[in-house]
Amino acid sequence: MSAIDILLVDAFTDTPLAGNAATVVLEAGGLSDDQCRRISAEIGTSEAAFLFPPESEGADHRLRFFTPTQEIDLCGHATVAAFWALAETGVVELSGEPRRLVQQTNVGDLPVWIEGSAGGPERVWMGQKLPRFETPEVSVDKLAALFGIGRKQVREDLPVEIVSTGLRSLHVPVAGLASFPEMRLLRRGLVELSNSLDVQTIQVFALEGSTPDVQVHCRVFAPAVGIDEDPVTGTAAGALGAYVVRHGLLPQGKDGITRFAIEQGAEIGRPGRIEVEVTRDEEEFVRVRVGGRAVVTLTGSLRIDT
């Protein structure tokens, strides 16, 4: 038997027991794939981040992400959680200027920025891949039935679209906040839809928030990878940012950056907030990144077989 150090970190919030919880293992060298999956299942968070020594030149850390059932290529909230933990534990030192690091992932090397000072981290930004878009063949009637809402609650003036900034996400626009608490999901149908379209997440969103400083409200479902509903989802937020910019739904700043905030998780008691920045030069996307705060809620050690 041996023991490994683990942390629980709530990402996209500064309130314990809110946002999206992630398991973080800062020293995962030597762990097998099966051990990573079993550790994720034992702790029971939707995703766990395992930090390994980097294998690619220029990367600072190699991150692998596991749900309780399988490995996934990328996870936004677990990235924020992992780099927040690195800064809070002093593995990464901060001096007041944003610290840029590179994480090696299964979808490539991606930049991460940690804002903060010697007093601790203040925000973590996760860079994502430049977006790819696809228009699927799926009817409004079918979507409304899967979410248990009226057909007229699915907007037809905006496209249902698959966007990937690292993971493929299906985006479904709905009309207003009232649609969200009414949703009654058909899980089996959502799994079948996810598999047929080869998407990892399905994001339902409205272009309004519960407070004036929030522009988008959403819910995200990922039953095909073992997560019925994800509280606050960084990868889907980046993809939604690209969708919003592509269709001109929010104003772009003079610097070419569209900035907005997403709220998610209130319907399942885990409210969180994601900051989104999408940079576009005329018609070319230049950068997509999402950011937020986090809080370490538990530190400890886990005994495992070796």
Q: Which pLDDT score, from 0 to 100, does residue 261 have?
A: 98
Percent of the chain exceeding pLDDT 90 equals 94
Domain shared by 53 and 176, yes or no: no
Q: How far apart are CA 287 and CA 285, in angstroms?
A: 6
> Domain check: are 74 and 101 in the same one?
yes
Are residues 175 and 30 part of one domain? Answer: no
Chain segment 93-126, per-residue pLDDT in tens: 999 999 999 999 999 999 999 999 999 999 999 9
Do 114 and 186 sit in the same domain of this protein?
A: no
The reply to whether 300 and 260 lie within a common domain is no
Could you tell me if 150 and 297 lie in one domain? no
The catalytic residue among 47, 88, 229, 263 is: 47
pLDDT at position 282 is 87
Q: For the chain, which ranges sit under pLDDT 50?
A: none
pLDDT of residue 226: 84
Ramachandran bin of 153, using left for φ above 0, alpha for ψ from -120 to 50, beta for the remaining angles: alpha
Judge if 144 and 266 occupy the same domain: yes
| pTM higher than the cut 0.85 | yes
Are 144 and 287 in the same domain? Answer: yes
In this structure, the answer to whether residues 149 and 264 fall within a common structural domain is yes
HSE-CB at 204 with a 13 A cutoff on CA atoms is 31
166 and 187 in a single domain? The answer is yes
Structural domain that includes position 34: 2-128+292-304
CATH code of 50's domain: 3.10.310.10
pLDDT for residue 225: 86
Residues 189 and 209 reside in one and the same domain = yes
Is 205 in contact with 171 (CB distance < 8 Å)? yes
- Active site includes 283? no
Number of domains in the chain: 2
Same domain for 93 and 212? no
Choose among 230, 209, 227: nearest CA to 276.
Answer: 209
